[in-house]
Amino acid sequence: MTTSSAVARRLLKELQDFRRDQATSPELARLEPVADDNLLVWTATLCGPQGSPYEGGRFELRIQVPERYPLQPPHIEFVTRICHPNVRFTTGEICLDILKSAWSPAWTLRSTCLAIALLLSHPEPSSPLNVDAANLLRCGDHLGYRSLVRMYTMRYAIKDA
């Protein structure tokens, strides 16, 4: 493992804190390293927020932790295909300021994943990576937006659909 001891301690503490407090954040079903011998690659599972067109969906995230974490933000992207104004449909890239310019070492992997979960219910159509979804919201077509999102959620994020 090439992870520095300070980064490893921080990540192990974050994992311990998540496991201890997991019940307090039902929207984050899973957060863990992919392998025991590499703390720099994690996976997370978000549950679609109730009352949203993502409800019932389970969305997997891939998290790449940089060597200089927490001074640098993790790279996080959706593995599960998702239709959202702030997510590039083809790559899973996420447009969220805390993953770039607004990052602070006070953020943890857990709090960052929870911010992404919040973004599902509160899209920002003014900074889109999915222009089609953003245009529906900008034009006030909320029914069209919810229908489009629900269709993709049923197709990609709900296993029994």
Could you list the beta-strand ranges (E) of 16-158: 28-35, 38-47, 58-64, 75-78
Contacts of 130 (CB under 8 A, 6+ apart): 83, 84, 85, 86, 87, 88, 89
Q: Sign of torsion, CA 143 114 83 56? A: negative
Strand pairing class (38-47; 28-35): antiparallel
Active-site residue, 95 included: yes
| From 47, 83, 95, 113, active-site residue | 95
Q: Which residues are catalytic?
A: 95
